[in-house]
């Protein structure tokens, strides 16, 4: 096409009227089929989970007697199903949620609760440990640490959701015999697991008007002497321990 012909065609196109019909059709198409942008978090699901957790938060003063999750039977160690509701009535209850059976921090915490079992008994309180481990793993953990209290396998995280706490966190609740929460404790990340035993005993003693528990910190070595060796723990399949090279971050678990 010669330059003169191209120039003539351009002038002709410029002189033609606009075509509003086509523009209208484009606008219709865009309104009928809007483009939906995905949220940055991949959807609204994460927001829903956070809302549920916040709504289910259990605080001091909360009564759990009418909480459905509190009454639900959960598989546990020794092949037994237990509900938290069945563990109270005549006695108070200390329920400690721990991240993972066999890890260093959880082993220290579980052993310390065992070492102070008689003290809790004297204050009229039962103890129960709760984690997301399987009943089989909790069975082995209970046997290895010679724990004198039951463990519950919250594999689906229903109890954690009901209490409003995040997965893989360490939180302890103390309830009176009526099912009312008198203490909630979650230490800062990396804190000493033994603080959960101290806080629990202090809460129970304050209810009964008892003394302090200042001697607890000196019992760590005693708990270590009574606990199984690393070799004993290595004999338990699927349960990591301090000597397991695949385990890292003991201070956070």
Burial zone of 95 (CB within 10 Å; 0-12 exposed, 13-18 middle, 19+ buried): buried
Q: Which residue has the higher pLDDT, 147 or 17?
A: 147
Question: What's the helix, strand, coil split of the chain in %, to 5?
Answer: 45, 15, 40
CA distance 146 to 243: 19
Q: Are the CB atoms for 60 and 182 separated by under 8 Å?
A: yes
Confidence of residue 160 (pLDDT cuts 50, 70, 90): very high
CA distance 125 to 94: 7
Examine the pLDDT at 34 and tell me if it is beyond 70.
no
Output the furthest CA–CA distance in the chain (Å, rounded). Answer: 107
Share of the chain above pLDDT 70, in %: 60
pLDDT tens digits, 91-139: 999 999 999 999 999 999 999 999 999 999 999 999 999 999 999 999 9
Backbone angles phi, psi at 125, to 5 degrees: -130, 140
Rg (Cα) of the chain, in Å, rounded?
30
* pLDDT value of residue 210: 62
41: DSSP letter: T
Confidence of residue 90 (pLDDT cuts 50, 70, 90): confident
* pLDDT value of residue 78: 87
- What average pLDDT does the segment 227-241 reach? 40
pLDDT tens digits, 57-78: 889 999 988 888 889 999 999 8
pLDDT tens digits, 197-210: 999 999 999 988 76
119-143 burial: b if 16+ Cβ within 10 Å, else e: bbeebebbbbbbbbbebebbbbbbe
Q: Which of 74, 106, 128, 140 is catalytic?
A: 106
Examine the pLDDT at 1 and tell me if it is beyond 90.
no
Q: Are the CB atoms for 93 and 87 separated by under 8 Å?
A: yes
Active site annotation includes 23:
no
Q: Are the CB atoms for 221 and 108 separated by under 8 Å?
A: no
């Amino acid at each position: 096409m010669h330059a003169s012909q191209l120039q003539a065609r351009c002038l002709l196109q410029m002189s033609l009227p606009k075509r509003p019909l086509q523009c209208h059709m484009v606008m219709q198409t865009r309104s009928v089929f809007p483009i939906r942008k995905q949220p940055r978090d991949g959807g609204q699901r994460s927001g829903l989970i956070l809302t549920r957790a916040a709504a289910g938060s259990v605080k001091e003063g909360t009564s759990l007697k009418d909480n459905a999750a509190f009454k639900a039977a959960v598989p546990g160690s020794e092949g037994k199903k237990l509900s938290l509701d069945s563990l109270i009535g005549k006695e108070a209850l200390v329920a400690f949620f721990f991240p993972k059976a066999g890890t260093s921090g959880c082993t220290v915490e579980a052993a310390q609760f065992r070492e102070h079992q008689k003290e809790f008994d004297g204050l009229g309180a039962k103890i129960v440990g709760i984690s997301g481990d399987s009943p089989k793993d909790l069975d082995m953990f209970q046997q290895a640490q010679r724990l004198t209290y039951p463990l519950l396998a919250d594999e689906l995280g229903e109890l954690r959701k009901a209490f409003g706490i995040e997965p893989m966190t360490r939180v302890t609740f103390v309830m009176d015999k009526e099912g009312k929460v008198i203490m909630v404790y979650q230490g800062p990340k990396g804190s000493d697991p033994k603080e959960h035993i101290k806080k629990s005993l202090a809460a129970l003693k304050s209810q009964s008007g008892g003394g302090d528990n200042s001697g607890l910190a000196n019992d760590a070595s005693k708990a270590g002497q009574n606990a199984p060796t690393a070799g004993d723990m290595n004999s338990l399949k699927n349960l990591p321990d301090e000597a397991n090279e695949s385990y890292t971050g003991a201070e956070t678990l």
